[in-house]
């Protein structure tokens, strides 16, 4: 069983070929740098670029895997959530590829894909990370804690109430005058700073509903990053431009620490609550050095897939498709992509 998968939920045009055992035949990612000068992803531009790139990316994925289209057993694609115009390009292309050959089609939820990145067999690694485990996904679009009971059985314990963790990095970076995407730039600047120089609220576990807090929010494993952004704004207002410049590394380090500690707090609470002793981490923020160091200090087994499988890619979508129900031709032709919320059937 060999699966061809497409992923176009945001600004990366991705196609991959994955085999039944989770071995990756190819994993092609074409990143659209076209958005950087706007300081964020522009949906209409993303859709247009996907249209230009999608066929080339599929051809490259097949060529790199050494597999002909005739050897593909099923086609999968991200159905949502994401930018709906961007999703539609990959989703329609995948449906058309499947329909032309009367192949089965597997619609995949993007977040299920991030979790399923752990079920892949990356080159050089002996085994996939098998359920049960706790999974933390932190990317530019999502922040999620889920109890992974089986390959297709998840209990979501918490998600962000406002901004995603990566979005907090990006917005903080923009306020500090760094480029987009801001996470990597902010974490580089933070390397020379003191994480305790400034006290941003997410690091105060009590204020944000940590241990000992008494608000209803305290019982929730949801995340919130919007207040952090505001507190950086107020902090910057109190500093002169010269001070902002001189203390930029301290500001970055303290801001980063607040995000990391908030992620860690909820993760530790979830481990405690579920009794799980295995943790998987995914999403672009998993590349953050400070977070990785904190994760390594946890008294549980921590699995972080290689960076290329943590950020958006189609191999993770193919991986999820291995365990999801497939639809036979022509019972998928009516399906639509979805931006957020409930998945239509
Ligand atoms: O998973 P991803 O590539 O795309 C989405 O699905 O959003 O995640 C991108 C996010 C961006 O917000 C980026 O700033 C953040 O991940 N990111 C980082 C780092 N590398 C990427 N955040 C903090 N530290 C990093 N080293
Ligand atoms: Zn993602």
Atom nearest to 187 CA in ligand 1: 24
Which one of 136, 262, 285 would you pick to mutate in the ligand 1 pocket, going by the greatest count of ligand atoms within 8 A of its CB? 285
Residue closest by Cα to atom 8 of ligand 1: 284
Q: What are the pLDDT digits (tens) for 131-186?
A: 999 999 999 989 999 999 999 999 999 999 999 999 999 999 999 999 877 999 99
Q: What are the pLDDT digits (tens) for 17-32?
A: 999 999 999 999 988 7
- Does the C-beta of 182 come closer than 6 Å to ligand 1? yes
Which one of 139, 174, 252, 253 would you pick to mutate in the ligand 1 pocket, going by the greatest count of ligand atoms within 8 A of its CB? 139
On the question of pLDDT at 217 being above 70, the answer is: no
Q: 245: burial class by Cβ within 10 Å (0-12, 13-18, 19+)?
A: exposed
**Which pLDDT score, from 0 to 100, does residue 204 have?**
38
Mean pLDDT to the nearest integer, 268-290: 95
Residue with tokens 């953050």: 288
Report the distance separating Cα 312 and Cα 215, nearest Å: 35
**Which pLDDT score, from 0 to 100, does residue 211 have?**
45
CA 146 to ligand 1 centroid distance, Å? 19
Q: What are the pLDDT digits (tens) for 224-260?
A: 999 999 999 999 999 999 999 999 999 999 999 999 9
Residue with tokens 């889920």: 146
Mean pLDDT to the nearest integer, 214-232: 79
- Does the C-beta of 183 come closer than 6 Å to ligand 1? yes
On the question of pLDDT at 126 being above 90, the answer is: no
- Does the C-beta of 25 come closer than 6 Å to ligand 1? no
For residue 152, which of 284, 319, 342, 340 has the smallest C-alpha distance?
319
DSSP assignment letter at 161: S
- Does the C-beta of 209 come closer than 6 Å to ligand 1? no
Residue closest by Cα to atom 10 of ligand 1: 140
Work out the mean pLDDT of the chain and round it to a whole number.
90
**Which pLDDT score, from 0 to 100, does residue 342 have?**
53
**Which pLDDT score, from 0 to 100, does residue 123 have?**
77
The fraction of the chain above a pLDDT of 90, given in percent, is 80
pTM of the shown model: 0.90
Picking from 36-45, 86-95, 230-239, 309-318, which range would have the lowest pLDDT averaged per residue? Answer: 36-45
Residue 170 CA: which ligand is closest? 1
On the question of pLDDT at 212 being above 60, the answer is: no
Picking from 216-225, 240-249, 306-315, which range would have the lowest pLDDT averaged per residue? Answer: 216-225
Residue 209 pLDDT level (bands cut at 50, 70, 90): very low
**Which pLDDT score, from 0 to 100, does residue 199 have?**
92
Residue 181 preceded by cis peptide, ω within 30: yes
């Amino acid at each position: 069983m060999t699966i061809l998968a497409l992923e176009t939920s945001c600004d990366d045009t991705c196609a991959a070929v994955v085999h039944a055992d989770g071995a990756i035949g190819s994993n092609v990612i074409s990143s659209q740098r076209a958005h950087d000068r706007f300081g964020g992803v522009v949906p209409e531009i993303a859709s247009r670029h996907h249209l230009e790139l999608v066929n080339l990316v599929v051809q490259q994925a097949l060529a790199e895997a050494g597999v002909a289209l005739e050897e593909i057993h099923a086609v999968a694609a991200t159905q949502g959530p994401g930018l709906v115009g961007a999703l539609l390009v990959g989703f329609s292309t995948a449906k058309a590829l499947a329909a032309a050959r009367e192949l089965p089609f597997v619609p995949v939820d993007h977040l299920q894909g991030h979790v399923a990145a752990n079920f892949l067999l990356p080159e050089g690694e002996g085994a996939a990370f098998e359920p049960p485990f706790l999974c933390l996904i932190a990317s530019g679009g999502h922040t999620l804690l889920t109890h992974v009971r089986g390959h297709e059985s998840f209990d979501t314990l918490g998600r962000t109430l406002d901004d995603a963790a990566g979005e907090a990095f990006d917005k903080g970076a923009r306020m500090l005058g760094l480029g987009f995407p801001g996470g990597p730039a902010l974490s580089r600047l933070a390397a020379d700073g003191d994480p305790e120089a400034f006290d941003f609220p997410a690091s105060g576990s009590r204020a944000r509903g940590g241990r000992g807090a008494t608000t209803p929010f305290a019982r929730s494993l949801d995340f919130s990053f919007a207040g952090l952004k505001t507190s950086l704004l107020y902090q910057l207002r109190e500093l002169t431009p010269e001070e902002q410049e001189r203390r930029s590394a301290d500001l970055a380090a303290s801001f980063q620490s607040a995000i990391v500690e908030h992620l860690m707090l909820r993760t530790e609470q979830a481990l405690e609550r579920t009794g799980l002793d295995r943790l998987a981490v995914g999403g672009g923020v998993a590349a953050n050095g400070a977070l990785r160091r904190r994760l390594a200090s946890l008294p549980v087994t921590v699995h972080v897939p290689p960076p290329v499988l943590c950020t958006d890619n189609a191999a993770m979508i193919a991986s999820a498709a291995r365990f999801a129900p497939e639809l036979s031709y022509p019972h998928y032709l009516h399906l639509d992509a979805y931006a957020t919320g409930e998945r239509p059937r």
